[in-house]
Amino acid sequence: MKVSASFLSINDDLEKNIIKLDKTTIDYLHLDIMDGKFVKNKTWDIKNIKKLLKNTQKPKDVHLMVSNIKKYVKQFRKLKPEYITFHYEATKNCFAMMGLIKKYGIKVGISIKPNTPVEKLNPYFKYLNLILVMSVEPGEGGQEFIPETIDKIKQLDVIRKANKYQYLIEVDGGINNQNINLLRENNVDIVVAGSYITSIKGYQRRVDKLKADITKQ
Ligand code: DX5
Ligand code: ZN
Rounded distance from Cα 165 to ligand 1 centre (Å): 27
Which residue out of 27, 35, 61, 172 is catalytically annotated? 172
Determine contact, residues 24/204, Cβ cutoff 8 Å. Answer: yes
SS3 110: strand
Give the whole-angstrom CA distance, residue 24 versus residue 113.
29
By percentage, how much of the chain surpasses pLDDT 70?
A: 98
Decide if 172 is catalytic. yes
More confident residue, 7 or 213: 7
Per DSSP bridges, beta strands 2-6 and 83-87 are: unpaired
Rounded to the nearest angstrom, the distance between the alpha carbon of 84 and the centre of ligand 2 is: 11
Which residue's CA is the closest to the ligand 1 atom numbered 3? 173
pTM surpassing 0.85?
yes
**What is the pLDDT, as a whole number, of residue 46?**
97
Burial class of 70 by CB neighbour count within 10 A (0 to 12, 13 to 18, 19+): middle
Provide the β-strand partners of residue 171: 133, 191
> Residue 162, SS3?
helix
81 lines ligand 1 (CB under 6 A): no
